Structure 1
Amino acid sequence: MSALLLALGAAQLSGCAHPNAPYPDDPFYAPIYPELPTSQVVTTGSIYNSSYRNELYSDIKAHRVGDVITVLLEEQTKAKKSASKEITKDSNMQLDPISAGGAPVTVNGKTLDLKYAEEFDMSRGSDADQSNSLDGSISVNVLQVLANGNLVIRGEKWMTINDGDEFIRITGIIRPRDISPDNTIESQRVANARIQYSGTGTFADSQKSGWLSQFFSGPLWPF
């Protein structure tokens, strides 16, 4: 038994060291900077430059690579599941006393008859109810402008609180028409969204179950 527990502990500890664990300054979420114009600048004596947007005569909506847009996180999920299973089986069999010549056949004074009855009843039930909500905001960069004008966005936010870090990450695709005049967009309008909100450190580890509790509540526990 001790050898089994040691093996299970080693397996769980090896699984804790996840190679894809989040960390600050991940190059995948590095800021995106706009490309500098490579065309030769022709001196015309005018202060207008066609390579850049004039903030006096245009809105502030993100539309180029490197632009910043604020995503308003308004996520709510609710799931409820219930299942029941019931199996009932009854079996009965009876054999009347055997008779011969109009008289019952006996063995040691007892008649030969047979009775058999079987009853099987099994019922199972399960119920699960889960709800989550996420409110906040995060400013992200435009990573790519697609051929149809849609924008690929990506970004993260890290906050250090006491002995741990909390982070929000989001990637997805948005339509320019869904961007509000104040350069914000609701998270429900982000297509193919990948939103992560979690933490690292002592506070996050205290909310996780130990490896032995995970074993007893996991699918490997046979009872």
Structure 2
Amino acid sequence: MKTLLWLCLPVALTGCAALSDARVEMDPPPVVQLPDLPQAQPRNGAIFNANTYRPLFEQHRARLVGDTLMISIVEKISASQSSTSEADRSGSLSGEISGLPGLDAAKVLGRASVGAKSGNKTTGKGSNQNSNEFTGTVTAIVQAVLPNGHLLITAEKQIGVNNNVDVLRFSGQVDPRAIGAGNVVDSTSVANVRIEQRGRGPAEGLHGIGWLSRFFLSLSPT
């Protein structure tokens, strides 16, 4: 009895194993190493400060660390793939014994013969389709400014309703020239985009497989 329990223990542990949780890597993407450019040292005075300077007639746009920038998320991606393969192979082999030394082959063997045929045919077909659409707006914060003036931005928005919390994360690299009126930039103009939208709460567990179902799936040969 103990031996049977020990044999069933690995199967039970396999069924209770948690499924891999697919997540978007939100770590900052590798930054292209640009050559260091000599920068003129600002001359700050009692009134003028280069860190907080804003031209009087300039429309407000993000350009310094800590500035905010509105991101208009408009992502629509679709992809399809199909493949078909077919292989057909056949072969045959035949032989006949007409005579033997010292024996009358007609009486001993009659017309003994041997033959074989083989054939193999394989056909395969597969297709895959994927479509994603995401729209929304989120305000990002400039985390760093590259030597060429590009902005590294990150954003996070959390909305809680009752026991459910929806989390939206966004990060990427923005060229200041792509920032439009109203300090808004489309997500299609952002490089190295990372977008993640997840929910936390009771509804999150409905998208997974229960431990008992995983147990029986682990026993399935397919």
TM range (shorter): 0.7 to 0.9
* Equivalence for 1:163: 163
Relative to structure 1, the CA distance from residue 215 to residue 128 in structure 2 (aligned partners, 3 Å threshold; closer, same or farther) is: farther
Relative to structure 1, the CA distance from residue 122 to residue 54 in structure 2 (aligned partners, 3 Å threshold; closer, same or farther) is: closer
Give the TM-score of the pair, scaled to structure 2.
Answer: 0.73
Listed as ranges, the matches of 1:54-203 within 5 Å are: 54=54, 56-99=56-99, 105-106=105-106, 110-203=110-203
Contact 1:104/1:111 (CA < 8 Å) preserved in 2?
no
Identity over aligned pairs, percent: 24
Deviations 1:4-63 (A, max 9, x none): 4312134327x66x9x999xxxxx9xxxxxxxxxx9863x7xxx7665344752211111
When structure 1 is superposed on structure 2, of 141-150 and 161-170 the one drifting more is 161-170
Instruction: Quote the Cα distance in structure 1 between the aligned partners of 2:142 and 2:96.
Output: 87
Contact 2:93/2:117 (CA < 8 Å) preserved in 1?
yes
Instruction: Quote the Cα distance in structure 2 between the aligned partners of 1:202 and 1:7.
Output: 25
Name the aligned partner's letter for residue 18 of structure 2. Q
* Equivalence for 2:17: 11
When structure 1 is superposed on structure 2, of 55-64 and 143-152 the one drifting more is 55-64
Please report how far the alpha carbon of residue 171 of structure 1 lies from its aligned counterpart in structure 2 after TM superposition.
1.2
Higher relative contact order (CA 8 A, sep 6+): 2
Contact 1:150/1:173 (CA < 8 Å) preserved in 2?
yes
Structure 1 gaps, min length 5: 23-27, 29-38
Relative to structure 1, the CA distance from residue 114 to residue 178 in structure 2 (aligned partners, 3 Å threshold; closer, same or farther) is: same
Give the TM-score of the pair, scaled to structure 1.
Answer: 0.73
Please report how far the alpha carbon of residue 222 of structure 1 lies from its aligned counterpart in structure 2 after TM superposition.
6.1
Please report how far the alpha carbon of residue 162 of structure 1 lies from its aligned counterpart in structure 2 after TM superposition.
3.7
When structure 1 is superposed on structure 2, of 72-81 and 162-171 the one drifting more is 162-171
Name the aligned partner's letter for residue 69 of structure 1. L
Name the aligned partner's letter for residue 201 of structure 1. G
* Equivalence for 1:204: 204
Structure 2 gaps, min length 5: 1-6, 29-42
For the residue of structure 1 that corresponds to 2:70, the secondary structure is strand
Deviations 1:133-181 (A, max 9, x none): 0000110101111111111101111111343211111111101110012
